[in-house]
Structure 1
């Protein structure tokens, strides 16, 4: 069952199944690729913005932490990561 990254539960690893590159600008797409956000990659949502906002979204990707905007997270479909 897939969902959008912007609604994924915090602290739970998910795997990227699809990214809607068409709704992202060229620069946004390049930035996400540079961060390693591609189909098949496992990420962990760590925390969201402030008390009154769901933006930005902090993600753990391997040993790296990155911040993306809610609009970008909404373009990314994820599924629960397989447990080892």
Structure 2
């Protein structure tokens, strides 16, 4: 097997794996707040306390995956174009 064919096979496996993840679990944890939905800060004594709501996930702790967002956008464009 040539190195190019091996690279293509690995890339195909990674792509199909990501498609399966996006189909099975379209929402992932927010990378900014680590799924808490808010920023953690510390008070003057050094104890952790709840901070402001996360602006990326709007306080939900979950964000839509990029692959799922692209799929939703493509299917919406196709559906509106074939009416």
Between Structure 1 and Structure 2, the one with more helix by share is 2
TM-score by length of 2: 0.22
Between Structure 1 and Structure 2, the one with more strand by share is 1
TM-score by length of 1: 0.22
Using CA pairs below 8 Å that are at least 6 residues apart, which structure has the higher relative contact order? 1
Which has the larger Rg? Answer: 2
